[in-house]
Structure 1
Amino acid sequence: MSAESASELPALRLPASDVAPFEVPLGELALTVLVGVTGVGKSTALAALRAADPETRVLPDRREVTDAVMILPVTGGPVRDREERFRLTAAYRDAHPGGMAQALGSLLADTRHWAHHWGKRPVFDGLRGEAEVAYAAAHCPRWRFVALEAPDLVRVQRLLGRADAFDQVRGAAADDLRPALEHLSGAAEVFSPAQLDELAALTAQGHAASDILAKTRIVLSERRHYDPAAAARRLRALPSERALVLDTVALGPEEVARAVGAWL
């Protein structure tokens, strides 16, 4: 979703002063929201959900909404570097404490076509961090939340395996990987020495040192902005009919889909 195409999205558009009688903020409609940071398995779980239930429809994702609402209005063009994107979205949150939840909830839905375009069970991927979850829980009473969790070491491994061109950071290179990993900002707080050894040893599986360093930086940068544990604690405090928290290491994609289907 670009700034230019946002107004052309089926049944959704950016907020404006001229609201038609048939338009309703998305925050007032029923929606299932995935919660989780990069690499916890949201995309895989979504694919399993869609395979298990043809009624599942997925809204424009977090990346698209971020571009349209938070980044393009500031930069006028795309930004691919993940750390720069985190900086821009942090600036947006300074003015809008609800972050992505506030941005998504403010989008206007054309209720004449909502069910046609997004089906009976619309899903959004996704929210991150305690502030977004808290805002959504308080201001979007018909939203329900599925939080997916995975350890940070597993997240790095999954990022290495998915080869997404979007997962980029500048300056990710190292002649000696293990010390470079140890000196990353926040590494000592997130990874144990043994886990840093495991990350450095991933070169034996054919992964480039620069790629391992880049993916680890992404995980650390995201954690600085969004605390997944705090988000999960917030969701566990909600009534069980509003929030479900699942471990994507203990559960495979099909098991996650079955758990979500039964809960819904």
Structure 2
Amino acid sequence: MLDWVDFGEPPNGWGSVGKRPLLILVGLTGVGKTTTVNAMKTAGMDFTLLPNRRAITDALLIPAMQRINGKTVKIVQDRTQRFTYTRQYREYFPGGMAYALAQMVIKQTVLSDTAVLLFDGLRGANEVTFAAQNLPQAQFLFLDAPDSVRLQRLSQRNDVFDHVQVGTIGSDDETAVAIINGERQNYDPQATLAALQKYASQRLIYADTTKHTPVEIAQMVAFQWKS
């Protein structure tokens, strides 16, 4: 974890994430979150990228659950095992990843006066509901894509993080299918979108990444920030 990020009560010179303008990316693996962030950078948008979901899961969620389970704290790479730990974390801390995000504090010296914080990202309905209710300055960018498109993107992106221990899975296609199925068992994107429409409709941007280019989505975000 970065030395300008911590969790808990903020000491002098630090501030809570919840008290800063914040853009939260919402979407499953393969919808185009990283590509969108890169497009926002290219467009010259002023934001500070927070440690992402993966980093917080490694630094906070998994170790907390391993300690509770009486297990040795160690890195977990298998995606299905990580889903299990994040689901257990939600059972202990309603809001799950959003709860962890709300506890995040940052060193004020690393931020410009105008920078928006950007977090990648939240997934389930309970996470976005908690965030909408407890992070009043947060805006949400919901990125969507059909499973068939996500499958194609996952099969082609060659991310070392896309690792699943399921039988003798070896091909990229089989690994991608296992990841998508695992996410579907834990997160319902339609329920997530419905929760955002209910609790944060005025703070929500929706984009289907098969219908809008990354540049167009970056423009949508820029317009929302200015309004």
Query: If the length of structure 1 is used for normalisation, what is the TM-score?
Result: 0.77
- 1:25-45 Cα deviation digits (max 9, x unpaired): 322322111111111100000
Contact 2:45 2:222 in 1 (8 A): no
How many Å apart are 1:119 and its aligned residue? 5.9
- 1:182-227 Cα deviation digits (max 9, x unpaired): xxxxxxxxxxxxxxxxxxxxxxxxxxx7321111010010111111
Match of 2:178 in 1: 217
Match of 2:69 in 1: none
**In 1, distance between residues paired with 2:172 and 2:110?**
41
In the alignment, structure 2 segments of 5+ residues that lack a partner are 67-71
Match of 1:263 in 2: 224
**In 1, distance between residues paired with 2:49 and 2:199?**
24
Match of 1:23 in 2: 14
How many Å apart are 1:173 and its aligned residue? 3.7
How many Å apart are 1:64 and its aligned residue? 0.4
Contact 1:172 1:210 in 2 (8 A): no
In the alignment, structure 1 segments of 5+ residues that lack a partner are 2-7, 175-208
Equivalent runs, 1:226-245 vs 2, <5 Å: 226-238=187-199, 240-245=201-206
1:59 counterpart (41, 50, 53): 50
1:95 equivalent in alignment to 2:92: yes
**In 1, distance between residues paired with 2:20 and 2:160?**
33
Equivalent runs, 1:67-86 vs 2, <5 Å: 67-73=58-64, 74=66, 75-86=72-83
Q: CA RMSD in A?
A: 1.9
How many Å apart are 1:239 and its aligned residue? 5.1
Equivalent runs, 1:19-168 vs 2, <5 Å: 19-73=10-64, 74=66, 75-111=72-108, 113-116=109-112, 120-168=115-163
Query: If the length of structure 2 is used for normalisation, what is the TM-score?
Result: 0.89
Q: Partner letter of residue 138 of structure 1?
A: Q
Q: Partner letter of residue 56 of structure 1?
A: F
Percent identical pairs in the alignment equals 37
**In 1, distance between residues paired with 2:209 and 2:199?**
21
Q: Partner letter of residue 101 of structure 1?
A: A
Task: Report the count of equivalent residues.
Answer: 219
How many Å apart are 1:22 and its aligned residue? 4.1
How many Å apart are 1:114 and its aligned residue? 4.7
Contact 2:125 2:191 in 1 (8 A): yes
How many Å apart are 1:9 and its aligned residue? 2.2
**In 1, distance between residues paired with 2:153 and 2:209?**
12
How many Å apart are 1:110 and its aligned residue? 3.0
Contact 2:133 2:199 in 1 (8 A): no
Which one has more relative contact order, counting CA pairs under 8 Å at least 6 apart? 2
- 1:41-78 Cα deviation digits (max 9, x unpaired): 00000100111124122111110011111113425221
